[in-house]
Amino acid sequence: MAVDKLRKEETLEMRKRLIGQSCRLFYSDNPVKIVRARGQYLFDENGMRYLDCISNVHHVGHCHPSITKAATAQMELLNTNSRFLHDNIVLYADRLAATLPSRLCVFYFVNSGSEANDLALRLAQQYTQHEDVIVLDHAYHGHLKSLIEISPYKFRKLAGQKEWVHVAPLPDTYRGIYREDHPNPSQAYADTVKDLIEEAHRKGRKISAFFAESVPSVGGQIILPQGYSPKVAEYVRSAGGVFVADEVQTGFGRLGSHFWAFQQQDDDFCPDIVTMGKPMGNGHPLACLVTTAEIAAAFTANGVEYFNTFGGNPVSCAIGLAVLDVIENEDLRGNASRVGAHLKDLLTKLKTRHQIIGDVRGAGLFVGVELVTDRQKKTPATETAASLVKRLKEEDRICVSTDGPWENVLKFKPPMCFSVEDAEQVACCIDRILTG
Ligand SMILES: Cc1ncc(COP(=O)(O)O)c(C=O)c1O
């Protein structure tokens, strides 16, 4: 039974008064109050059902009974910190290791993607003894001060670019500097990173790390050209730096075909550090960093303990294990491949009917639809994207959001139990609204 303690207007008034206004609401002019959820569906205080196309955190489905059961059972038994010997943390690390290349074998458990990326910065700088970082344009890696400094999406609106941060062009073959018609976009984009390294060297600076999401999301659901990451890793490593793959959004089988999105680049490609978060705990704050034995040893060698009060506690690890079980038992990667391909296919068909759809891209249940007012000039259709999001919510109770530098890319990152019927409903409603 839903628990609704306050009238919606009271909740809104209290939220405005008590919660920092920079913590924004979806649909701020008419927010939705969600009181319960199941699978890919959210229910408001009146029992109205909304289809969730946004939440890549509730990976195996909202309030999945297996996750709730695992959490409750461990919570009833014990919850300590990782300074006591406990089975869950090692069993969980072992299960995660089985999904990763064997070089990535040392784990640090934390509570958020930001904590994982901040730790990645520390590890990279400690291991390389260099300071500088290369990031992709429009990237977002977290809300800590250290990460705002390596997130062009944020620092451009704040204090600006630090001298130790270098921004490489986003390898976007739809509207970037090298497009589909380029003979070798992966090499051309990788060479932009090489140029940045050489420029940094000329200034007497040294590269500690290259950070990139394996499929840049805030940048607009950009699929990196195949082979880009291995080439970049080669340049970065020859400069003495390390390659950090931010899998906070894309890990745990979201792309269907692979458990980790970096694996899409090349079967043999292995980053030096991988960070993960959002889907890991299905809503419970659980995140992680995995790295090589050498990088971990350099971090240990500084003699300073790494202690994280909540990271890797028995309850978090029990939940993490349960999430892995559900992904396997319910073949959610298979579902992401099948339903994601169907959704992309339906949306691609809409492109032939609606000039405003400039591009449909993505893999598995990580799909972007870029809206443009002019296909030749690729002028971002920001207002139409905002109006479509609003109408889908008000007329069809479908929750979708936008991303990309111009907020003109509709993004679909639903719970992995999203169904063929859900995909058909979404495509049908978008078609109706765009036709109108
Ligand atoms: C790619 C990426 N990295 C890191 C983060 C930060 O994760 P968290 O919000 O869990 O700190 C986010 C959050 O949106 C993200 O999208």
114 in contact with ligand 1, CB cutoff 6 A: yes
C-beta 254 within 6 A of ligand 1: no
Query: Is beta strand 398-399 parallel, antiparallel or unpaired with respect to 401-403?
Result: unpaired
Compute the distance from residue 58 Cα to the ligand 1 centre, in Å: 14
Q: Give distance in angstroms: CA of 354 to centre of ligand 1.
A: 33
* Ligand 1 atom nearest to CA at 277: 10
Can you give the residue ranges of every domain in the chain?
32-60+331-435, 65-329
**Atom of ligand 1 at shortest distance to CA of 287?**
10
CA of 164 to the centre of ligand 1 (A): 21
Which whole number is the average pLDDT over 328-357? Answer: 98
Over 60: is that where the pLDDT of 1 sits? no
Q: Which atom of ligand 1 is nearest to the CA of 278?
A: 10
DSSP tag of 169: P
Question: What is the architecture, at CATH level 2, of domain 65-329?
Answer: 3-Layer(aba) Sandwich (3.40)
pLDDT category at 133 given cuts 50, 70, 90 is: very high
pLDDT at position 4: 82
Ligand 1 contact via 141 beta carbon (within 6 Å): yes
* Ligand 1 atom at minimum distance from 285 CA: 10
Rounded Cα distance between 188 and 226, Å, is 12
Per-residue pLDDT tens over the stretch 96-122: 999 999 999 999 999 999 999 999 999
How high does pLDDT run on average in the chain? 97
Give, in order, the Cα–Cα distances in Å from 139 to each of 154, 155, 189, 235, 421.
Answer: 8, 10, 16, 20, 33
Q: Is 246 in the pocket of ligand 1 (CB under 6 A)?
A: yes
Centroid of ligand 1 to alpha carbon of 116 (angstroms): 9
Interval between CA 22 and ligand 1 midpoint (Å):
17
248 Cα to the center of ligand 1, angstroms: 6
Residue 400 Cα to ligand 1 middle (Å): 18
Mean pLDDT confidence for 157-168? 94
- Closest-CA residue, ligand 1 atom 14, reads 142
Q: Is any ligand 1 atom within 6 A of the Cβ of residue 211?
A: no
| pLDDT score of 72 more than 60 | yes
Q: How far is the CA of 162 from the centre of ligand 1 (A)?
A: 21
Percentage above 70 pLDDT, the chain: 99
**CB distance 411 to ligand 1 below 6 Å:** no
Question: 224 CB under 6 A from ligand 1?
Answer: no
Taking CA 297 as the corner, what is the angle to CA 213 and CA 81, rounded to the nearest 5 degrees?
80
CATH class in words for 32-60+331-435:
alpha beta
Q: Within 10 A of 188 (CB to CB), how many other CB atoms are there? A: 18
The tokens for 60 are 């195996």
- The token pair at 393 is 């919510």
pLDDT, position 2: 52
The pLDDT confidence band at residue 84, using thresholds 50, 70 and 90, is very high
Whole-angstrom CA distances from 348 to 105, 344, 374 are 40, 6, 17
Residue 216 Cβ inside 6 Å of ligand 1? The answer reads no
Q: How far is CA 177 from the centre of its chain?
A: 24
Atom 2 in ligand 1: residue holding the nearest Cα: 141
